[in-house]
């Protein structure tokens, strides 16, 4: 016996089907990019120390770097990559130097970590995650590591302005933050930082980043502090970048390159719930001490010394040249690093530079 269909009973089912259909239509699956031989990008980087206080009052420095990263070959999940860069360093004390460096290293696409050498990264705990690439299939709210920093994806459709090209490109925007203890020739400081990174949604390669660090502590027992800022953007790529519209708002959270959020269309409530779940799981994950990013280099040592790791021989707190007598032994400032050294020695015991 045929029964009449209750149309009201079908309404919830039809509504559910419509919601599911809309949800499915809004999802555009993105596959992880497989690097290819010849993939390359050139970049420009500017790092600067400013806003000195206390023992750092009046001190500034700047390092300008130009570099390139290029894939040479692929072996399974390992990517053999060549890097090279050159830099120019100068500070308010009149010191300046320039140099270059190049080499090969390998990284893995299975977990985006360095597996054989690095592009001059030092001071990080293993595993060290690459800074220049990420999995582009991760959704908004997804998390990943860069060097030793944990980042969360804020947007997959962020309009980033490239200064050299005068246009906006579509990027994946991610943000990380943390704190670590600095104990080097800069002094003993508590460093608190925020790091915004921007990646190509198609390949996952770096397009730019904005890193800002506030240091508070002391240098040789004297209280002080400074701001360290590091800004990088690509100047050319072997793969096309997607042009994006200029953002409609002039405000920005990150503040680099006139960065402005490009607000995305709201996803279904189900997507929000999933994202919240992913973030909650990520927050429960392990946290690490994240030292200052060092790519490709950092403030170099005095002109007479070869390039070295961050803070290896740089003396930021040197005072103007003066001569003092302690126990009848005269001392003068080393002309390379500014440290007071006895007149009886031929070379500076701190930087190795000749006294004369």
pLDDT digits (tens, 9 = 90+) for 222-277: 999 999 999 999 999 999 999 999 887 544 454 444 433 333 433 444 444 344 44
**What is the mean pLDDT of the segment spanning 163-179?**
92
- Residue 101: φ, ψ to 5°: -155, 150
**Residue-level pLDDT at 15:** 53
**Residue-level pLDDT at 13:** 52
Query: With 90 as the cut, is the pLDDT of residue 314 above it?
Result: no
CB of 125 closer than 8 Å to CB of 113: no
Give the count of beta carbons closer than 10 Å to the beta carbon of residue 145: 21
- 116: nearest Cα among 129, 103, 107: 107
| Cis before 127 (ω within 30) | yes
Query: With 50 as the cut, is the pLDDT of residue 95 above it?
Result: yes
Query: With 70 as the cut, is the pLDDT of residue 324 above it?
Result: no
Question: How buried is 160 (Cβ within 10 angstroms: 0-12 exposed, 13-18 middle, 19+ buried)?
Answer: buried
**Beta-ladder partners of 283:** none
Ordered by start, the domain boundaries in the chain are 40-283, 318-356
**Residue-level pLDDT at 237:** 96
Q: What is the dihedral angle through the alpha carbons of 31, 70, 174, 27, rounded to the nearest 10 degrees?
A: -20
Give the count of beta carbons closer than 10 Å to the beta carbon of residue 343: 12
Q: What separation in angstroms does the CA of 255 have from each of 92, 194, 212, 261?
A: 25, 11, 10, 10
- Average model confidence (pLDDT) for the chain? 75
Tokens of 138: 């991760």
Contacts of 287 (CB under 8 A, 6+ apart): 150, 178
pTM for the predicted model, two decimal places: 0.66
- 289: nearest Cα among 144, 190, 173: 190
CA dist., res. 172 & res. 224, Å (int):
36
HSE of 166, CA atoms in CB hemisphere, 13 A:
0
**What is the mean pLDDT of the segment spanning 38-50?**
96
Q: Encode pLDDT of 278-291 as tens digits.
A: 334 333 333 333 33
Q: Encode pLDDT of 3-43 as tens digits.
A: 454 555 555 554 555 554 444 444 445 567 899 999 999 99
Q: Encode pLDDT of 332-349 as tens digits.
A: 777 766 676 667 667 776
Give the count of beta carbons closer than 10 Å to the beta carbon of residue 143: 17
Task: Give the start-end residues of each E strand in the chain.
Answer: 40-54, 61-75, 78-91, 96-108, 114-116, 143-146, 149-162, 167-184, 187-199, 206-219, 222-237, 243-244, 324-326, 329-333, 340-342
Q: Encode pLDDT of 154-169 as tens digits.
A: 999 999 999 878 899 9
Tokens of 117: 């050498």
Query: With 80 as the cut, is the pLDDT of residue 89 above it?
Result: yes
Query: With 80 as the cut, is the pLDDT of residue 352 above it?
Result: no
CA dist., res. 259 & res. 249, Å (int):
10
Among 184-193, 234-243, 251-260, 303-312, which is the least confidently predicted range?
303-312
**Residue-level pLDDT at 202:** 96
**Residue-level pLDDT at 136:** 96
Handedness of CA 291, 196, 285, 135 (dihedral sign): negative
Instruction: Name the band, by pLDDT with cuts 50, 70 and 90, for residue 198.
Output: very high
């Amino acid at each position: 016996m045929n029964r009449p269909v209750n149309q009201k009973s079908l309404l919830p089912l039809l509504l559910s089907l419509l919601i599911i259909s809309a949800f499915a239509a809004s999802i555009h699956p993105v596959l992880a990019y497989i690097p290819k031989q010849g993939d390359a990008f050139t970049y420009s980087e500017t790092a600067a120390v400013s806003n000195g206080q206390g023992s750092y009052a009046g001190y500034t420095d700047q390092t300008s770097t130009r570099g390139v990263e290029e894939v040479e070959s692929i072996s399974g999940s390992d990517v053999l990559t060549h890097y090279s860069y050159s830099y120019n360093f100068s500070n308010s004390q009149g010191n300046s130097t320039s140099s270059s460096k190049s080499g090969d290293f390998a990284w893995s696409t299975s977990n985006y970590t360095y597996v054989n050498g690095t592009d001059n990264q030092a001071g990080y705990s293993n595993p060290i995650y690459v800074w220049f690439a990420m999995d582009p299939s991760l959704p908004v709210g997804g998390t990943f590591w860069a060097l030793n920093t944990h980042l969360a994806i804020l947007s997959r459709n962020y309009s980033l302005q490239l200064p050299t090209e005068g246009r906006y490109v579509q990027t994946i925007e991610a943000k990380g933050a943390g704190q670590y203890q600095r104990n080097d020739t800069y002094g003993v400081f508590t460093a608190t930082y925020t790091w915004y990174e921007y990646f190509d949604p198609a390949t996952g390669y770096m397009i730019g980043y904005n890193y800002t660090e506030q240091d508070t502590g002391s240098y040789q027992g004297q209280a002080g502090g400074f701001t360290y800022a590091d800004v990088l953007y690509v100047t050319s790529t072997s793969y096309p970048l997607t042009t994006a519209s200029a953002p409609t708002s002039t405000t920005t959270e990150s503040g680099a390159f006139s960065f402005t959020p490009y607000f995305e269309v709201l996803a279904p409530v189900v997507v929000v719930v999933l994202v919240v779940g992913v973030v909650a799981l990520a927050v429960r994950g392990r946290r690490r001490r994240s030292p200052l990013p060092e790519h490709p280099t950092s403030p170099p040592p005095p002109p007479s010394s070869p390039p070295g790791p961050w803070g290896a021989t740089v003396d930021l707190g040197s005072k103007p040249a003066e001569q003092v007598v302690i126990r009848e032994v005269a001392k003068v400032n080393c002309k390379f690093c500014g440290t007071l050294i006895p007149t009886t020695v031929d070379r500076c015991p701190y930087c190795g530079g000749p006294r004369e």
